[in-house]
Chains A and B, each alone.
Chain A
Amino acid sequence: MPDTADSRVSGEGLVDAHILQELRSIVGERGLISSPEGLHTYECDGLTNFRVMPRAVLLPTSTEQVQAIVRLCHREKIPFVARGSGTGLSGGALPVENGLVISLARMNHILEVDFLNARVIVEPGVINLDVTGRVQPQEYFYAPDPSSQSVCSIGGNVAENSGGAHCLKYGFTTTHVLGLEVVLPDGSLVHLGGKTLDTPGYDLAGVFVGSEGTLGIATKVILRIVKRPECIRTLLAAFPSTNEAGAAVSGIIAAGMLPAAIEMMDNLAIQAAEAAVHANYPNCGGLLLVELDGPSAEVEALMTHVNEICLSNGAWEIRVAQSDAERALVWKGRKAAFAAMGRISPNYIVQDGVIPRTALPQVMSEIARLSQETGLRVANVFHAGDGNLHPLVLYDRRIPGQEKAAEALSFKILELCIAAGGSITGEHGVGEEKKKMMSKMFAEPDLDTMQRVRCAFDPLQLSNPTKVFPTTRLCGEKPGEYVPHPLESAGIAERF
């Protein structure tokens, strides 16, 4: 079988005029983009420093059309990349050269809303926030809330296993996806999971969610919705530095509380958010945002306790949002933090490393040291409850060499995360950007085992073939023997 690495990207599987004509007959004139100016929009996703021009973009409107496109790709060995809203931050939707982009944007219908069972069935192009919009009148919501939730699609969320500030309590996309209709890379259709729980068989829905488009294309998604809590309280606490704020977080967790969200921002991030949306944050070294939700009596009792913990850890100002409007403003500042960097720096790189919460002070001081060494400013915004860091490395592309230096610094921060026992990505995905870091986090047999699973789904490796893994594995190959990871041999890391 000619399933060599090269054939996946170039050589075989070229999209010629005949193929374009066949594609046009599947999706119609309006469903095909092949002009250079039309393709321009699709050459990158939210990670804009990687750009590849696809050969064509397809905009199917039905599962059958997706199947027909993928069958053709399989027959002709043409690589394809599925795309939702294109807001991903790791280059997961970056096109493959000479390949196709399959945009699910026109498959954007909410197909079923079932309040009796708290389920919603959607097409992949439905916007995250629109699910909540639809069920809000009955006081339900869709829990995963990535900062881009007003524009990002459910299909993209499924691919990336998106999180958000409230996943500390409510879990990630994978927690809320119960079933999927998937077009496999050979064009066949399968149903994974379902409306009921624990469908017999392997949990392939669990494997598919977060596989970054490498296992096929989801064409329907069964979601779980959650009843809105009776009461939500949001507290802002100003600390001298992130160390004291971090100690308060540990105190809250140690006291046996599970807040809906705990977010932290350092001074640079606060300045940027203030400049952008005037959230009226106190100007401090470390700002903590704690949100508790649940039954009123419970929340009020615990809020008093959170207040005490913040005070005893050196908070010099504590505010509780007194209205929905105040709460919305508090969150607006946090959710706008990335984009707000534009106010204080011409360019920035955002990373997504995760550390065990307890490693925060040590990792923060390392980041500060690296920042000083390189002369590049680093703003820090975290999901502090679960140790998900979002260091923003600020730089100016016009200064020669600075972009490279910023990239190098951001990867050094990820290495700090790995050394602390954490992960290179908590919610943005590996994509194109971080695939080289995978072999620093995982040993060869770990990656090889994952690739064997990939081979079961996509033996020809046509579905987003160049992402996630640092090297491609030919699906005919025999797996290799166990080789200890370099970190493991050095006694730095255990088998995780």
Chain B
Amino acid sequence: MDAAIKSQSAAIHSPFCSSIIALLGPEHVRPASPADAVSGVRPKLVVDPGTEKELAEVLRLSNEAGLAVIPRGGGTKLRWGNPPSRADLILSTARLDEIIEHAWADLTVTVQAGCTIQRLQETLAQHGQRLALDPLWPEKTTVGGVLSTNDSGGLRLRFGALRDLIIGVTIALPDGTLASSGGKVVKNVAGYDLPKLVTGALGTLGVITRAVFRLHPLPRNTVSLSIPTSHVDETQRFVHAVQDSKLAHAALQSRFSGETQPISDILFEGTEVGLAAQETQLRNLSGLPSLSKTASVWTARQDLWGFSDPESTAIAKVTILPSNLARMIELFERTANASQLRWRALIYATGIGWLRLEGAVEPLHRALGLLRRELEGQGGSLVLLHRPQKMPEFDAWGNAGDSLPLQRAVKQRLDPKSTLNPGRFGGGI
């Protein structure tokens, strides 16, 4: 019996494990398999609580036993963040998948963390509504996972990010507390806004067990138009012209690569007569090149993950000021060419974008470091989401800024023993 299997076996027979089995039943506790590893770190147990109280109790027992807990929803973004410094338990939210209340007349929904985005959207659509969010892999990704990673797509331009859509949250803290903040009404300033605190916290402060969202109506009609530009300067001028116009577009993205011309895509939603008028207006924007109706351009972000070799690919989320668009794209191109890397980038009009680099591990590492310095120097950031396992160490988050001591203090107050996702967040949190 090798050491790893021995340790798995010891874990499942420990007094801790007995108490978890007594709580959840043996069918919801199993030894972890290699497929459960998180960035190469293999936990010992996978635990699958059926209620929020059970989840909080598992967390409390783990915390007491000094074990490290990795919360997991659909498991689609487990490689995001740094590798955990410790991992003992995978705490799955898969069974917490209930849509508790779709108050359609009030345009809100209360949903448990383990519900997938796709199932949520299907339910909301029965009343002509949606969560106005286009995250990655909606068929697998869960409410809790999407919140913890703050994953948003092109619709953010019009409808805001998760921070603007979430109105209430319940979290389980490592000491077993189940705490709620916010509520079920859109407008509410009673108490601190903890829904925002846990959004994007990568599960390092508490485990989200349920959330309440404000909803939007499904669009009556949509139209997508694509506009090629000959040069990044022209792309930037176009994006700014649209942003500075009175068009009411729902999304605006630009796609760049070493091989093709830049292309911008714009999405309109509304009544038929309204869409026709907007299209005419867009065509009339001065200095505008040709444009054509398109479909299926809004999966461009997810398509970045359609790479052939994970071991020679890095994907980063980048943030820039929209006024730096052309400069930053030129920087990506220059840096990639100098290191003989292939590159693709997708930048939303909000200044949030995704960059994919492909090539040998060493030049990848070098290029990422250089790009991060440049982006941070311009007030932006580079957060690494996918990296080759063999790439030298590279902090996923970058400069945590002068608020790092405060961030650590918040972590210390909510998770003093660093039970949740230790080491995966920025600044060593």
Interface residue ranges, A against B (CB under 8 Å): 114-118, 139, 160-161, 163, 167, 171-172, 174-175, 184, 188-192, 194-204, 206-207, 209-211, 227-230, 250, 253-254, 256-258, 294-298, 301-302, 354-358, 383, 386-388, 421-430, 434, 438, 441-443, 445-450, 452-457, 468, 479, 481-482, 494-496
Contacts and interface: CB of A to CB of B under 8 A. Distances in A.
Given A190-B406, A253-B107, A482-B177, A202 B192 contact: no
Contacts of B409: 456-457
B325 to A, nearest CB: 10
Nearest to B398: A200
Interface of B: 52, 56, 100, 103, 105-108, 110, 128, 150, 160-161, 163-164, 168, 170-171, 173, 175-194, 196-197, 199-201, 205, 210, 212, 216-218, 220, 240, 243-248, 270-271, 273-274, 276-278, 281, 317, 319-323, 350-352, 379-381, 383, 397-407, 409-410, 412-414, 426-427
A201 B407 contact: yes
Given A197-B319, A256-B128, A386-B185, 15 more contacts: A171-B164, A175-B160, A189-B402, A196-B380, A197-B350, A198-B381, A204-B407, A206-B196, A355-B185, A449-B173, A450-B191, A452-B413, A452-B414, A456-B409, A494-B100
A301 B276 CA distance: 12
A495 B52 CA distance: 11
B192 A196 contact: no
Contact of B185 (A192, A196, A354): A354
Contacts of B398: 200
A387 B107 CA distance: 11
A481 B271 contact: no
A117 B321 CA distance: 7
Contact of A191 (B276, B403, B413): B403
Contacts of A199: 319, 381, 401
B217 A445 contact: no
Contacts of A160: 189
Contact of B403 (A192, A358, A447, A479): A192
A479 B175 contact: yes
B217 A387 contact: no
Contact of B248 (A197, A250, A294, A388): A294
Contact of B194 (A296, A388, A450): A450
Given A163-B187, A206-B196, A425-B190, A116 B218 contact: no
A482 B56 contact: yes
A350 to B, nearest CB: 15
Q: Give the most central of B108, B180, B245: most A CB within 10 Å.
A: B180
3 A-B pairs with least C-beta separation: A206-B196, A298-B274, A256-B217
A218 B246 CA distance: 32
15 contacts: A116-B321, A174-B163, A174-B193, A190-B402, A196-B380, A197-B319, A198-B317, A198-B352, A201-B400, A201-B403, A201-B427, A426-B189, A429-B189, A479-B173, A482-B178
Contacts of A442: 180-181, 190-191
Contact of B191 (A257, A388, A438, A494): A438
A161 B188 CA distance: 9
Contacts of B178: 445, 482, 495
A175 B168 CA distance: 16
A161 B189 contact: yes
B274 A295 contact: yes
Contacts of B210: 495
B426 A201 contact: yes
Given A174-B193, A298-B277, A457 B185 contact: no
Given A117-B323, A295-B246, A207 B188 contact: no
Nearest to B427: A201
Contacts of B352: 197-198
A161 B179 contact: no
A190 B403 contact: yes
A254 B273 CA distance: 20
A453 B184 contact: no
Contacts of B426: 200-201
B183 A453 contact: no
Nearest to B323: A116
Nearest to B129: A256
A249 to B, nearest CB: 10
A200 B319 CA distance: 10
Nearest to B186: A386
A228 B246 CA distance: 7
Grouping DSSP codes into helix (H, G, I), strand (E, B) and loop, the A interface class, with mixed when no group exceeds half, is: loop
A495 B170 CA distance: 8
Contacts of B427: 201
Contacts of B399: 200
B406 A204 contact: yes
B193 A357 contact: no
A465 to B, nearest CB: 15
Given A354-B187, A383-B187, A496-B212, A203 B410 contact: no
B246 A438 contact: no
Contact of B245 (A198, A227, A429): A227
A192 B171 CA distance: 23
B277 A296 contact: yes
B270 A424 contact: no
Question: Which of B184, B245, B320 has the most C-beta atoms of chain A within 10 angstroms of its own C-beta?
Answer: B184
Question: Among B193, B321, B322, which residue has the most Cβ atoms of chain A within 10 A?
Answer: B193
A204 B413 CA distance: 14
B413 A203 contact: no
Given A298-B271, A453-B413, A196 B194 contact: no
B176 A481 contact: yes
B196 A174 contact: yes
Contacts of B351: 117, 196-197
Contact of A449 (B245, B273, B414): B414
Given A171-B160, A295-B248, A297-B276, A200 B191 contact: no
A174 to B, nearest CB: 7
Given A445-B177, A449-B181, A423 B190 contact: yes
B185 A200 contact: no
Nearest to A457: B406
B181 to A, nearest CB: 6
A102 B59 CA distance: 43
B189 A191 contact: no
Contacts of A117: 321-323, 351
B334 to A, nearest CB: 21
Nearest to B218: A256
A481 B356 CA distance: 46
A158 to B, nearest CB: 12
A449 B160 CA distance: 26
A203 B218 contact: no
A422 B216 CA distance: 19
A47 to B, nearest CB: 15
Contacts of B212: 496
Contacts of A190: 401-403, 406
Contact of B161 (A167, A197, A298, A428): A197
Nearest to B381: A200
Contacts of B273: 297-298, 301
A14 to B, nearest CB: 28
B163 A206 contact: yes
B318 to A, nearest CB: 10
A68 B91 CA distance: 46
Contacts of A163: 187, 189
Contacts of A354: 185, 187-188
Nearest to B380: A196
Contacts of B281: 295
A443 B380 CA distance: 40
